[in-house]
């Protein structure tokens, strides 16, 4: 082309001036298409005359490699931006097919039971090639695809199979002929394969490794962010218990302590203070369990609702408000959590009393739903 001729002329001028030359040019190929070349030259002395040596190399493969690396770089950045395992796996599978040219590409994650590697994402419909969607079971028989894949997953070492039909460790026939299996740490594996043998070269192997490493880094980040969300939820639960649940028994204890100081017979006040302190102790134990184990202990038992509601009412400063209980059933639940529920509901009623248009004294009703399969808490405020 005219541009290439101009670049060639400038390069020759530079060679004459500085004694060196490096330039990329396109030459016309036998099929009429352009073929990229790189030319390197230098000056030399020949019979007291200045001569020049110029060598040219076709660089089609190098340019294709550079293009693949750039495309893969873009894909890995895309993988790292996603916030879920499934999204990261899907982007990685698509990238592997587009950049590496592996039509049978899939990402497989370890299932919740830890007994199988199951398909998480693929660049195509696997059932077009396989009779059923691939699933690799732990402890598969020797020579099976499952045994081969699990070997890679457990050992953490990539495996390249140039032709599955001549691979000694695989006696089971497979629709995939060329295969690259790359582990993804604790998460699973990435499999890039083709129905044709001897398809992948060293460049493809390196690209799969880059992609797998990026995917694993993304999965690590997703796991860290999930843990942070759980920790934040725990902190929110801590704050809720400290700001709401502990406030109820503390207020009751403080109120009865004031009454006890002025009462001739403070026995009932002391009993109320004792109940409040016992409630505080239970809540503190729940907090400690949450801190140690990351989740609150759940103790499901049969709970008499009428008795529990009455006890919770005594655990909140209710003033002149009235309580109406229209239930006598028992339910299965965690008694401590149910107590937190009722106490907080009652306290909320007291804090917002007067903001409504109730007539007569403030009244809270706890009753059975019409269908009989639950209960309600209502007030006239």
pLDDT digits (tens, 9 = 90+) for 132-150: 778 899 988 988 889 999 9
From 177-191, 202-216, 228-242, 255-269, the region with the lowest mean pLDDT? 228-242
Share of the chain above pLDDT 90, in %: 9
Three-class HEC string of the chain: CHHHHHHHHHHHHHHHHHCEEEEEEEEECCCCCEEEEEEEEEEEEECCEEEEEEEEEECHHHHHHHHHHHHHHHHHHHHHHCCCHHHHHHHHHHHHHHHHCCCEEEEEEECCCCCEEEEEEECCCHHHCCCCCCEEECCCCCCCHHHHHHHHHHHCCCEEECCHHHCCCCCCCCCCCEEEEEECCCCEEEEEEECCCCCCCHHHHHHHHHHHHHHHHHHHHHHHHHHHHHHHHHHHHHHHHHHHHCHHHHHHHHHHHHHHHHCCCCHHHHHHHHHHHHHHHHHHHHHHHHHHHCCCCCCEEEEEHHHHHHHHHHCCCCCCCEEEEECCCEEEEEHHHHHHHHHHHHHHHHHHCCCCCCCCCCEEEEEECCCCCCEEEEECC
pTM: 0.51
pLDDT of 72: 61
Contact 97, 105 (CB under 8 A): yes
pLDDT of 127: 64
As a residue count, the chain comes to 381
- What are the backbone dihedrals phi and psi of residue 300, each rounded to the nearest 5 degrees, phi first? -80, 130
pLDDT of 203: 79
From 182-186, 260-264, 357-361, the region with the lowest mean pLDDT? 357-361
Average pLDDT over residues 234-241: 66
CB contact set of 211 (below 8 Å; sequence gap of 6+): 72, 75, 76, 79, 92, 95, 96, 99, 100, 190
pLDDT of 107: 85
25-47: per-residue pLDDT in tens? 877 777 777 887 888 888 777 77
- pLDDT grade for 159, boundaries at 50, 70 and 90: very high
- pLDDT grade for 366, boundaries at 50, 70 and 90: very high
Query: Rounded to whole angstroms, how far apart are CA atoms 132 and 55?
Result: 54
CA torsion, points 102, 106, 107, 110, in degrees to nearest 10? -140
Q: Which of 7-16, 279-288, 292-301 has the highest mean pLDDT?
A: 7-16
More confident residue, 88 or 374: 374
Q: Which of 100-109, 141-150, 234-243, 336-345 has the highest mean pLDDT?
A: 141-150
Q: Which residues pair with 106 in a beta bridge?
A: 122, 191
What token pair was written down for 281? 């102790």
50-93: per-residue pLDDT in tens? 787 888 888 767 666 666 666 666 666 555 565 667 777 777 77
- pLDDT grade for 157, boundaries at 50, 70 and 90: very high
Share of the chain above pLDDT 70, in %: 78
Average pLDDT over residues 262-280: 75
Query: Rounded to whole angstroms, how far apart are CA atoms 264 and 336?
Result: 34
Contact 96, 87 (CB under 8 A): no
Q: What is the mean pLDDT of the chain?
A: 78
Average pLDDT over residues 264-286: 74
pLDDT of 116: 92
- pLDDT grade for 129, boundaries at 50, 70 and 90: low
């Amino acid at each position: 082309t005219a541009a290439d001729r101009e670049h060639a002329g400038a390069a020759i001028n530079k060679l004459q001036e500085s004694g060196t030359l490096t330039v990329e040019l396109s030459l016309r190929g036998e099929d009429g298409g352009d073929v990229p070349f790189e030319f390197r030259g230098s000056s030399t002395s020949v019979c007291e005359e200045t001569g020049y040596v110029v060598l040219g190399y076709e660089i089609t493969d190098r340019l294709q490699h550079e293009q693949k690396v750039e495309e893969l770089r873009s894909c890995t950045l895309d993988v790292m931006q996603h916030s879920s395992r499934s999204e990261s796996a899907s982007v990685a599978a698509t990238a592997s097919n587009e950049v590496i040219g592996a039509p049978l590409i899939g990402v497989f994650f370890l299932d919740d039971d830890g007994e199988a590697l199951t398909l998480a994402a693929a660049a195509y419909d696997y059932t077009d090639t396989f009779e059923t969607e691939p699933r690799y079971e732990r402890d598969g028989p020797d020579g099976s695809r499952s045994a081969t894949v699990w070997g890679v997953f457990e050992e953490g070492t990539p495996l390249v199979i140039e032709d599955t039909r001549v691979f000694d460790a695989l006696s089971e026939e497979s629709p995939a002929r060329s295969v690259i299996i790359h582990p993804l740490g604790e998460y699973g594996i990435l499999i890039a394969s083709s129905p044709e043998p001897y398809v992948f070269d060293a460049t493809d192997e390196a690209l799969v490794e880059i992609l797998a490493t990026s995917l694993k880094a993304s999965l690590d980040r997703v796991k860290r962010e999930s843990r942070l969300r759980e920790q934040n939820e725990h902190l929110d639960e801590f704050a809720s218990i400290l700001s709401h649940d502990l406030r109820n028994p503390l207020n009751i204890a403080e109120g009865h302590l004031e009454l006890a100081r002025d009462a001739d017979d403070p026995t009932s006040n002391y009993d109320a203070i004792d109940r409040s302190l016992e409630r505080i102790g239970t809540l503190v134990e729940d907090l400690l369990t949450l801190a140690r184990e990351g989740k609150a202990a759940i103790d499901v038992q049969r709970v008499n609702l009428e008795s529990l509601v009455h006890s919770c009412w005594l655990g909140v400063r209710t003033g002149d408000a009235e309580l109406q209980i229209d239930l006598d059933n028992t339910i299965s639940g965690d008694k401590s959590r149910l107590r937190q529920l009722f106490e907080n509901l009652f306290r909320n009623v007291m804090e917002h009393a007067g903001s409504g248009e109730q007539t007569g004294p403030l009244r809270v009703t706890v009753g059975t739903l019409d269908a009989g399969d639950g209960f309600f808490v209502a007030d006239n405020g």
